[in-house]
Structure formats: C-alpha cells, structure tokens
Amino acid sequence: MVRRRADGRLSRRAAVPAEPSPPARRQVGADPDAPLWRAAQVFRLVTVVYAVSSQFSTVAHYTSPRLSWFFVALLAVWSGVSAVLLAQGVGQRAVVVGIDQVVAVALMGATRLVAGHDWYSAHQTLPTTLWVANAVLSAAILGGPAAGVASALAMATVSAVVRDQVNLDLWRDATAPVLVAVGVAMGFATTTARRAHRQLEQAVRVAAATEERDRLAREVHDGVLQVLALVRRRGTALGGEAAELARLAGEQEAALRMLVSEQGTQLDRGEELVDLRALLRAQAGAGVTVSAPADPVLLDRVRAAELAAIAATALTNTTLHAGAGAKAYVLVEDLGDEVILSIRDDGVGIADGRLAQARAEGRMGVSKSIVGRAQWLGGAAVLDSSPGQGTEWEIRVPRRGARGA
C-alpha cells in the first residue's frame, strides 16, 4: 500500500495479504445417482418382505416346498448383498446390475423346479413380479430409459417362456406393462437427475468464480488502482517525460476500473450463447468508452465473436488514422430480433475518396473486416464520415440468420 509520509515523500508498506474468503463451492456429490440407488434399495427390501409373505401363501401349492424355501432364502441373501453394494459402491455397480439380471432370470426359471405346470402357467413366477422389478430398476438407473426398457422386455419374455405363455399376447398379462412402465419411469428419472446435477455443478462453479472475482477486485482496488492513480496524478504534475508515464498509467487505471466494474456481465460458461457486452468491454481503455444495456446481450458464439472483431477493427482504424488524442465510443443496442453496434470517434474523419484509394492499394480492412463481416452475418454496415467531423460506423445485424448462407 502506498502512503504519503509527513515530509511529502512516498513510502510503501508491505500489504498483508487478505485471507482468502471461503470458497463459494459447496460440496456437490460426485455421484448424482446416489439418491436413486438408495431409494431403489429401500424398494428392494420392501419387495423381499412381499416375496417372503407370498411364499407363505403359495408354498402349499408347490411340488417341492423345501426347494422353494431354498430359492426364497437365496433371494433374501442376494437382496441384502446387492442392496449394500448398489447403495454404497460406484465402481462395481455395473457388475452387480449384471448379476442382478442373471439372478432374476434364474429364480424365475426355478419356478418349474418347485411347482407343477397347472400352477406356474396360471400364476406369477417364484420371485414375484414385484421383486423382478428390482432388476429393471437397477438397469434403468445404470443405463437410462433404453436399458430399463430392454431389461423389462427381457424379464417379461422370460416370464412368458417359463409360464408357457409365449403364444399369447404378452400385453394381456400384467407383467410386461408393469415392468416396461417401471423401466421407462426410472430411466427418465435418472436422466433428469443427472441433468439437474450438472446444472447444479455449473451454478456452483459460477458462484465460486464470481466470489473469487469479487475478492480480486477488492484487492486490485486497494492496491494496484491506488498506485496507478497516484502515478497518473504525480506524473501529470511533474510534466516532461513523467507525463508520458502518467498517460500510460491512466490508460491502465481506466482498463482495470472497467474490468472491476463488470460485475453484472454474464460469464462465458462455454455455452452456445455469449454475452456480447463482455467481448466489447474487454476493448475499453483510456481512449475508448463502451456503453451497453444493463441486461445481457446474448448471441451465438460465432456471431458475438464477429461483432467484437468488427469493433476491434474500427477501433484500430481510430488509433491509426483518427489523429492524436481522438476518443472512441462504442454503443451496443439490443432490439430483440436485431443488434445494433455503433463505433464513433471524434477524430479527423475520412477524406473523400480515401476508402476507394485504400481498396485500389489492396488494403481491405474496411471492405472485408467490417463491411464483409456484417454482410456475412446477414446485416449491413453504414459509414458516416467527413473531414474534421470524425467517423461513425453503424452495424446492424439480425440475431439469427445468414452467416454465409
């Protein structure tokens, strides 16, 4: 931090680095499917209770009661093991889900070992349709709607084969519709949960970036901006060679203040839409003033980049040809279906015939970089300039369309 001592000289006191503010990023679970897996395992345990109670009511009709109890015990053990593995582990879930499909198919096939044809052809298979739905749920959570439907159709087909119902319309039986509905519903629930998780992570990243930017802005304001302002004032007062340093310090001070003030500008999140204001404000400086609406001016990435390039070309021309001390003003207007970009300077203007001469000499900065870009975007560029009256470009482009079409 710079301070003025009692004798008028400058002294620098080492700034104590501010303790970083706590990060805005909250702990977001690495596994977006974890709540669905836990809920599915609760359902699994409920279906075990149903399967055991169903066994008590149907065991009297089996030809091999003891063997049926063995299969029910196997069902209960596997249900407990798979519930723990699926609820807690991420890496082995694909293996567990695969085993789940095999166990469900095997238990349905075992129905023929414990019951006669008259029984199993008219009733549900041994593990019950409700318990078989666990395999469909697991497949849907792991692989989405397609995997859920595939598992449901496989289970319904196995059930029909075991019960000798292949020649009938599968949809007359409640097994196929119920399982397919379960697979579709859970599959779409999984897709929605993953999308919501990605959006939450993105929001957390943006919040963290915004907080860090605010912290850096405070540090810049307390340190660097104060030094630049002091150099600008002192250099201007001293004159001579110090005046050039004052001018450079003033330009950097203005650029930093513009950067700090951009708190309302929408961040570029790598999406298709980009806030044009951010691209234009990056070109502001001591001799360039940028004015933009309070609300984001969202354009597709290519269109926004081309408009920013047009502004950069016009500002470069101002620096090279408008004369010493010329100021430039950039204005962007959002009219809904059209965006207007105006770049104006108070320089010496363009002499009559100067653009035609530049084209004849092979310099295509205006005709290609400005007019050509505007036309490629489906818009138009209008130049208004006369000697001693400055130069103004008005670029009007539609929000969509053209781009070389």
pLDDT tens for 353-376 read: 666 666 655 555 565 678 888 899
d(C-alpha 379, C-alpha 403), whole Å: 10
Could you tell me the two tokens for 266?
Answer: 């929408």
Listed as ranges, residues in the chain with pLDDT below 70 are 1-31, 89-91, 166-176, 213-214, 216-223, 225, 253-271, 353-368, 401-405
Task: Report pLDDT for 343.
Answer: 93
Largest CA distance in the chain: 110
Residues 6 or more apart from 266 whose CB is under 8 A from it? 275, 277, 278, 296, 298
d(C-alpha 231, C-alpha 225), whole Å: 10
For 40, counting Cβ atoms within 10 Å of its Cβ (0-12 exposed, 13-18 middle, 19+ buried), the class is: buried
Task: Report pLDDT for 396.
Answer: 94
Signed CA dihedral, 313, 319, 322, 326: sign only: positive
User: What are the contacts of 37-44 at 24+ separation with CB within 8 A?
Assistant: 37/86, 37/87, 37/93, 37/141, 38/87, 40/86, 40/134, 40/137, 40/138, 40/141, 40/186, 41/82, 41/83, 41/84, 41/86, 41/87, 43/134, 43/137, 44/79, 44/82, 44/83, 44/134, 44/137
Q: Mind giving me the DSSP string for 138-192?
A: HHHHHHHHHHHHHHHHHHHHHHHHHTT-TTS-GGGSSHHHHHHHHHHHHHHHHHH
Could you tell me the two tokens for 212?
Answer: 């860090």
Measured CA to CA in angstroms, residue 267 lies from 106, 213, 248, 264, 274 at distances of 55, 11, 28, 9, 8
> Which residue type does 82 have?
S
d(C-alpha 80, C-alpha 87), whole Å: 11
Signed CA dihedral, 115, 119, 125, 129: sign only: negative
Task: Report pLDDT for 271.
Answer: 57
Which residue(s) pair with 341 in the sheet?
Answer: 332, 395
What is the value of pTM for the model shown?
Answer: 0.46
d(C-alpha 17, C-alpha 14), whole Å: 9
Signed CA dihedral, 197, 139, 144, 142: sign only: positive
β-strands 391-398, 328-334 pairing: unpaired
Task: Report pLDDT for 144.
Answer: 84
Task: Report pLDDT for 182.
Answer: 74
d(C-alpha 133, C-alpha 140), whole Å: 10
**Cα 209–chain centre separation:** 14
Could you tell me the two tokens for 226?
Answer: 């104060």
For 333: left if phi > 0, alpha if psi spans -120 to 50, otherwise beta; the answer is beta
pLDDT tens for 191-247 read: 777 787 777 777 788 777 777 766 766 665 556 767 777 887 788 788 877 888 877
> Which residue type does 333 have?
E
Task: Report pLDDT for 76.
Answer: 92
Kindly calculate the radius of gyration of the chain based on its CA atoms and give it in whole angstroms: 36
Task: Report pLDDT for 66.
Answer: 92
261 DSSP 8-state letter: H
Task: Report pLDDT for 357.
Answer: 65
Could you tell me the two tokens for 70?
Answer: 């063995």
> Which residue type does 298 have?
L
**Cα 262–chain centre separation:** 21
